[in-house]
Amino acid sequence: MFLHLSEYLQFIFATVIQFYGGYEFYKSSLKSLKNKVADMNLLVSIGTFSAYFYSVAVLFFKDLFPESMRHLYFEASAAVITFVLIGRYLELKTKQNATDFMKKLLSLKPDKAIKLVDGKEEIVDAISIQKGDIVLVRVGDKIPVDGIIIEGQTEIDQSFITGESKLVYKKENDEVLSGSVNKLSVIKIKATKDAKDSVLNQIIKLLLDAQSKKPQIGRLADKITAYFVPTVLIVSILVFDLWYFLGYPLNFSITAAISVLVIACPCALGLATPITIVNVVGRGSKEGILFKNPEVIEKSEKIDYVIFDKTGTLTEGRMRVEDAIIKNPDYLPLLISLEKGINHPIAQAIVNFKDSYRNLEIQDKQVVVGKGVIGFYNGNKIVMCNVQLLKERSIDLEDEFKEFYEKNKNLGNTVIFGVLNDKVVAAFSISDTVRPESKDVVKWLKDRGIKVVMLTGDNQKVAEKVSKETLIDQYYHDLTPMDKYNFIKSLKEKGFTIVFVGDGINDAPAMVESDIGIAVETASDLAKESGSIILLKSDIKGVIKSISLSQKGLKTIKQNLFWAYIYNIVGIPLAGGLLYPFFGILLNPMYAGIAMSVSSITVVFNALKLKYTNITKNF
């Protein structure tokens, strides 16, 4: 009697679990079938339904079954659903942990902003701020839009971009970024772009895009998974037929077939790559590294060359004018105004040459990449350029300028000439300093058998000086952006894997041609970067971190796929009863469900290691 009561209790509890706990499996299975796709939900649904309804039939219609076939599998169907749900819960929690940085970024987006309209304050949605709007930012408020300070001075926390905890002093005409926190005093800023195009929104978009992409090895796993479920269904039927026609009891054949359905785990295969990508992108974000294209993870396996641009990459990029010749002081506002707004360290050095000057409106401004900039003012043609452009335009140098050029070239400085109506009227000697970490980064790469090359548009003396300070043996000078592109192309044609590190905008051709392009930027306009990886911190140790993290990510993907394949290759035959004729061992569907959940959880936790692994070991 008590045994009979126990069977009905099993039925009640199993029914609740089967139709409440398993509802999502059935719902997802039907949806997948409508799309002509078979997934893990279908395997779980068929396996648990088979066990449950066979048990219901035995419980209520015992007389229809021989005594040897009156076995109940309520505990097996309930246990499978329970353990699979536990496994999914753990997967979900782990994925949430992997995207912690994304949540922090989203929390930085302010909901409201104080907009000034005709001198009056209006509280508006932050996302509605447009270029040119004036915004008031009080102490403790998040800056709602990228802009420049037009009134006031303060210190801001922009650690979400740089990773540095120090507050940064900002004054009038300084740039501030959306998501930064105002810490000292009230400021007014003028939006330089729409709120939806802010650096913070660009970073979030890049991270979301990166996490949704897969390298080729991941796409291969997806193709295998698409054929996996139909194959398992066929194998399950064959297992049932085999044991039944060999004369084994029906309940034995059913148990083996259900175990095959339950233990098979396409989930582990499907998770192997995306869960690793999520962790690589999340860890990179915390380190100030943005992965725009996770395909670089696969390309990082064997790197032959790392090629550096010089200015702003191996050097600080904080150039200053050390010496100058100016024929007439009235020319200086013209030359400085021409360079204003040009996103290059040399242009910024010339703009900062004088604290105050008369800003003039230059028309038809045109950048000659790698050589200079041309513009017009009141019909006069103005050029700021290097010696290469002078030679191309057949513009002669007076002796005074020739001596200035030779003297400063021998010092390892860059010389820029000011030209008015095809006549040289000024010359500027500009110097830069090598980043303190450049030498150590080059050594780290060379110690791992990676060839290091420097390409620069500067003259031989400048290139020689920097190469000595950084221990780079191979360097090329006086190159245009297309020269750099052709150099990289020639190496790739020989079968080498190339990493190029430089300015994501000015070195765009070389960046695109390389296998892995790493842009060293200050997040001024991330969407336009040509690099597949962007370093937000002003520290090229990020090159080491990028390579190390990519290689560890690829290793993790391979480990996960290996585990997923081996698990299924070994697990399915065991569940089908391979060991039964020799050792009398047949896997219970309940234990098959546990094993299936463990395989997925193992893949997830293996990927989670990337959040904590040391990516600068031996540096």
User: How far is it, in rounded angstroms, from Cα 362 to Cα 353?
Assistant: 18
User: How far is it, in rounded angstroms, from Cα 184 to Cα 153?
Assistant: 8
Nearest to 44 by CA among 15, 23, 16, 74: 23
User: How far is it, in rounded angstroms, from Cα 257 to Cα 252?
Assistant: 9
Nearest to 427 by CA among 403, 410, 443, 450: 403
Buried-exposed string 541-565: b where 16+ CB fall within 10 A, e elsewhere: bbbbbbbbbbbbbbebbebbbebbe
Which structure tokens are listed for 606? 């293996």
3 state DSSP class of 515: coil
Nearest to 399 by CA among 424, 416, 382, 422: 424
User: How far is it, in rounded angstroms, from Cα 451 to Cα 285?
Assistant: 27
User: How far is it, in rounded angstroms, from Cα 63 to Cα 58?
Assistant: 8
Report the DSSP beta bridge partners of residue 472: none
CB-based contact 429:325 (threshold 8 Å):
no
Residue 17 CA: distances (Å) to CA of 281, 381, 587: 37, 81, 22
Residue 70 CA: distances (Å) to CA of 13, 57, 243, 590: 19, 9, 18, 18
User: How far is it, in rounded angstroms, from Cα 582 to Cα 567?
Assistant: 21
The alpha carbon of 487 is separated from its chain's Cα centroid by a whole number of angstroms, namely 27
User: How far is it, in rounded angstroms, from Cα 569 to Cα 574?
Assistant: 9
3-class SS letters over 465-478: HHHHHHCCCEEECC
Residue 588 CA: distances (Å) to CA of 24, 42, 80, 262, 591: 24, 19, 10, 10, 5
* Structural element, H or E, at residue 12: helix 2-16
Which structure tokens are listed for 585? 């061992």
Nearest to 108 by CA among 200, 211, 205: 200
User: How far is it, in rounded angstroms, from Cα 176 to Cα 182?
Assistant: 10
Q: What is the DSSP letter of 18?
A: I
Q: Which of 141, 309, 458, 515 is catalytic?
A: 309
Please give the radius of gyration of the chain, using alpha carbons only, rounded to the nearest integer. Answer: 33
309 among known catalytic residues = yes
User: How far is it, in rounded angstroms, from Cα 555 to Cα 116?
Assistant: 53
CB-neighbour burial class of residue 23 (10 A; exposed 0-12, middle 13-18, buried 19+): exposed
Q: Give catalytic residues, as residue numbers.
A: 309
